[in-house]
Amino acid sequence: MEHDVYIAIGSNLGDKASTIFSAIGAIDELDSTSVVRLSTLIETDPVGPGDQDTYLNAAAHLRTALPARALLDALLSIESDHGRDRANEERWGPRTLDLDILVFADHTIDEDGLTVPHPRLHERLFVLVPLTEIAPDLTIPGRNETPAQLLMKLSPAR
C-alpha cells in the first residue's frame, strides 16, 4: 500500500541548494518511494542559537510503500550522507541537511524518535509556506486543519 507523505527540507551550511536537490534525488531513489512534487526553495532566517547563516527551506510530497519508521531511517541516512552528524550538533544549530516527516498519510504516530504529524509543524512559517504551496488543502491528522488555515493563523496578512 502506498502512502502520501509530506516532508520538510532545510539546509544552512555549504551549497544549500545543491544539497537539497541532491537529497531529493536520493529520496527519489529509495525503494518503493517517489518524489511527487517539490515546493519552491525559500530563504528564511534561522531559528536557533548563535550566529547562523540563512536557511533554504522546502517541502516535498512523496509517495512511498515504506512504513514510517523505515522512511525515517532512510531520511536520517540521507542526512548523514550529506554531512549531518546529529549526535554531535547543537540543537537547532547549523546543519548541512534537515529532513523531517511532517505528515504520513492520515496516521498519527507517537513513538520514540518519531512523532507524526510533526509536533511543531503548526508553529513554523518556514514549514507552512512551502507546504501550503504544494498541499494547501491537505488535512493535518489530529488537527483537522489545512496548511493554508494554519499559515493564515500565523500570518493573517498573507
Q: Which of 51, 91, 98, 158 is catalytic?
A: 98
Task: Give CA angle at 76 (31, 72), nearest 5°.
Answer: 60
Cα(114)–Cα(67) distance, rounded to whole angstroms?
A: 12
Q: Which of 100, 106, 137, 143 is catalytic?
A: 100
95 among known catalytic residues: yes
Q: Which of 84, 85, 106, 112 is catalytic?
A: 84
Helix ranges restricted to H, the chain = 16-28, 68-81, 125-134, 147-154
User: What are the φ/ψ torsions at residue 17 (nearest 5 degrees)?
Assistant: -65, -45
100 among known catalytic residues: yes
Q: Which of 15, 69, 73, 95 is catalytic?
A: 95
Residues designated as active site:
84, 95, 98, 100
